[in-house]
Amino acid sequence: MNKTILVTGGCRSGKSKYALKLANSRPGKKFFLATAQPLDEEMAERIQKHRQERGKEWVTFEEPINLADVFKKLDDDPQSVLILDCLTLWISNLLMESTPKEKLLGYVNEWLDCCSRFKGTLICITNEVGAGIVPENPLGREFRDLAGEINQQVADRFDEVILTVSGVPVTIKTSAKSEDVAGQNDRINHEFSPAKKAGLYEAIYGRRDVRQFNPNPVPFEALEKILNAAHHAGSVGFMQPWNFIVIDDPEVKERVVQNFSEANEEASRHYSGDRKDLYSSLKLEGIREAPINICITCDRERSGPHVLGRNSVPDTDIFSTCCAVQNLWLAARAEGLGVGWVSILSMEKLKEVLAIPEEIVPVAYLCVGYTDHFLKQPLLEKVGWADRLPMNKLIYHNQWNENSKGFLQ
Ligand SMILES: Cc1cc2nc3c(=O)[nH]c(=O)nc-3n(C[C@H](O)[C@H](O)[C@H](O)COP(=O)(O)O)c2cc1C
């Protein structure tokens, strides 16, 4: 299915790099239509450099004026990708040939028709030229105005518009069709569209352990969504060993607070001096304030005595339950809900309070609700309790070997 993407941005904002990355992530034939003309040595060198960067699998056309002619030479393979680099240079080439405005706009329309007939993915690069000062000479002003007008026209007709700023691509337009095609591409490449990826990583990096909640109630639909996300976690032998106890009764919560206070008192004995003072100053639970508490449990006998994949590592049922907790935590972040894991509890007493049967293991006690602030960094990092370890120092190559650290650098 045809898909048209406009990549726009300022000079050196990362447009071409992004367009190439996008194109290279697709499986089909790659075409590059360059509108630049090697008018001087510097330009010729640049063009040559870009050709080399693209690699041999790319077929390059150099055409400063008759874009429609090039489109006739492209094949009909829906998997093929064409990068047009760039629209503004084409406009400038036409202006330099003293093409009257009406004629120039006619060429643009003709080219737009070619774009909709093109069967593959078309990525067109353009420049945002209107953000700077007003050009001094009339030709410069004409160029700026025309480029702005044409960009608008193209953005209107194209399925997707991406703005690159300081190397960061921001999706500023998607259409139902583009989502459909993105879905299709997901199926071809198994890769998410940039917008979907951004959402996923935002949830991962923006997830926080939250201990401060506001009293806004958690809507039933949001609760259902996060529980369902938890229920879709991976589990050993598809055992799904979890249950969820949703708690909103203040009396039950009060008994859990009591449990926490005793466990916390005990835990604080492990610290002394400044560390103890710091520990005592930390808020380590939000049981009362959070409108909802959820206890996630693991039924270790859910699938009988033998579970596929659990023979050698019996604790994989507990690991599976932790996967459910993480799913809930991430989905909650996407829903704007904070989650705080409270493990400073006697699990025996918790079982008693929540009437959990003997054979069931409570894995996580979570406080859930809306919060007025998601911290940018973990609270324990912010107060100087611990730092995030450098990732590179945690990665070995092939074997547990100190010398192989730094593999990712
Ligand atoms: C298994 C587990 C138990 C935790 N128990 C507590 C707890 O009892 N109290 C608390 O304040 N935070 C608890 N946390 C939250 C961690 O302190 C927090 O995840 C860590 O500091 C990193 O911060 P972040 O989650 O905001 O990225 C727990 C987290 C996990 C994964």
Check residue 46 and give its pLDDT. Answer: 81
Q: What is the DSSP string of 175-225?
A: -HHHHHHHHHHHHHH----HHHHHHHHHHHHH--B-----SPPPPHHHHHH
Task: Please provide the distance, in angstroms rounded to a whole number, between the alpha carbons at the two ends of the chain.
Answer: 39
Can you give the pLDDT at residue 50? Answer: 80
Angle at 39 between CA 36 and CA 41, to 5 degrees: 110
pLDDT of residue 359: 96
Q: What pLDDT, on the 0 to 100 scale, is given for residue 326?
A: 98
Residue 22 pLDDT > 80, yes or no? yes
Mean pLDDT, the chain, integer:
92
Please tell me the residue having the least CA distance from ligand 1 atom 10: 284
Does residue 28 line the site of ligand 1, with CB under 6 A? no
Q: What is the pLDDT of residue 40?
A: 85
pLDDT-based confidence at residue 387 (cuts at 50, 70, 90): very high
CB distance 264 to ligand 1 below 6 Å:
no
What is the Å distance from ligand 1's center to 179 Cα?
36
Q: Tell me, what's the pLDDT at 152? A: 96
Q: Is 344 in the pocket of ligand 1 (CB under 6 A)?
A: yes
Per-residue pLDDT tens over the stretch 63-108: 999 999 999 888 788 889 999 999 999 999 999 999 999 999 999 9
CA nearest ligand 1 atom 19, residue? 209
pLDDT at 51 (0 to 100): 80
Quick check: 183 pLDDT over 80?
no
pLDDT range class, residue 188, cuts 50, 70, 90: low
**Exposed / middle / buried, residue 125 (Cβ in 10 Å: 0-12, 13-18, 19+):** buried
Pocket test for ligand 1, best of 211, 321, 341 (most atoms within 8 A of CB): 341
pLDDT by residue (tens digit) across 128-174?
Answer: 999 888 999 999 999 999 999 999 999 999 999 999 999 999 999 98
Kindly list the distances between the CA atom of residue 138 and the CA atoms of 65, 91, 95, 102, 312, in Å, as whole numbers in the listed order.
22, 15, 12, 17, 78
Ligand 1 centroid, distance to 343 Cα (angstroms): 8
| pLDDT average, residue stretch 378-383 | 96
The answer to whether 48 touches 80, Cβ cutoff 8 Å, is no
Domains contained in the chain, CATH given: 3-201 (3.40.50.300), 207-374 (3.40.109.10)
Ligand 1 centre to CA of 209 (Å) is 6
Structure tokens at 93: 């080439």
Instruction: Write down the pLDDT at residue 74.
Output: 87
How close is the Cα of 401 to the center of ligand 1, in Å?
29
pLDDT confidence of residue 324? 98
How many A from CA of 353 to the centre of ligand 1?
A: 22
* Burial degree of 310 (CB within 10 A; 0-12, 13-18, 19+): buried
Q: How many angstroms separate the alpha carbon of residue 211 from the centre of ligand 1?
A: 10
pLDDT of residue 177: 57
Q: Are strands 360-370 and 292-299 parallel, antiparallel or unpaired?
A: antiparallel
Q: Is the beta carbon of 211 within 6 A of some atom in ligand 1?
A: yes
Q: Which residue, by CA, sits nearest to atom 25 of ligand 1?
A: 209
Residue 176: is its pLDDT beyond 90?
Answer: no
**CB 335 within 8 Å of CB 276:** no
| pTM metric for this prediction | 0.63
pLDDT at 376 over 60: yes
DSSP 57: T
CB-ligand 1 contact for 209 (6 Å cutoff):
yes
Q: What is the pLDDT of residue 181?
A: 52
Residue with the smallest CA separation from ligand 1 atom 18 is: 209
Residue 406: per-residue pLDDT: 74
The ligand 1 atom at the shortest distance from the C-alpha of residue 380 is 21
Q: Are 35 and 89 in contact (CB under 8 A)?
A: yes
